[in-house]
Amino acid sequence: MPPQKIAYFMPKNWPLANVKVSEALKNQFSDCQLDIFNLETIISKRFDVLVLNTFATIIYYGKDILKKKRGFKDCFWRTPYLYNFVKKWIGKNVDKNRYWFTFQIQSLFDCSIEGVPHFVYTDHTHLANLYYESFNKEKLYPEFWVDLEKRIYNHASLIFVRSTNIKRSLEDQYGQPKQKVTCVFAGSNVETKQIKASEDRFHRQNILFVGIDWERKGGPALLSAFEKIQIDFPHSTLTIVGCKPDTQIPNVNAMGRIPPDDLREYYKNASIFCLPTREEPFGIAFLEAMQAGLPIIGTNVGAIPDFVQNGWNGWLVEPDEVNELASALLKLLENPEQCKTFGARSLQSVQERYNWQAVANKFQENILNYMKSTYN
Give me the chain's average pLDDT, please: 94
Exposure string over 163-197, b if 16+ CB within 10 A, otherwise e: bebbbbbbeebbebeeeebbbbbbbbbbebeebeb
Rounded Cα distance, 152 and 120, in Å: 8
Choose the CATH number for 5-187+355-375 among 3.40.50.720, 3.10.129.10, 3.90.480.10, 3.40.50.2000: 3.40.50.2000
Least confident of 140-149, 156-165, 254-263: 254-263
Identify the pLDDT of residue 15.
83
Identify the pLDDT of residue 191.
63
pLDDT tier for residue 188 given thresholds of 50, 70 and 90: confident
Rounded Cα distance, 323 and 63, in Å: 39
Model confidence at 363: pLDDT above 60: yes
pLDDT digits (tens, 9 = 90+) for 313-326: 999 999 999 999 99
Identify the pLDDT of residue 190.
67
Identify the pLDDT of residue 124.
94
Identify the pLDDT of residue 354.
87
pLDDT tier for residue 157 given thresholds of 50, 70 and 90: very high
Q: Where are the domains of the chain?
A: 5-187+355-375, 201-352
* pTM recorded for the entire structure: 0.86
Share of the chain above pLDDT 90, in %: 85
pLDDT digits (tens, 9 = 90+) for 108-135: 999 999 999 999 999 999 999 999 888 8
pLDDT tier for residue 192 given thresholds of 50, 70 and 90: low
What are residue 208's DSSP bridge partners?
A: 239, 273
pLDDT digits (tens, 9 = 90+) for 265-302: 999 999 999 999 999 888 889 999 999 999 999 999 99
* CATH number belonging to domain 201-352: 3.40.50.2000
pLDDT digits (tens, 9 = 90+) for 228-265: 999 999 999 999 999 999 998 999 999 999 998 889 89
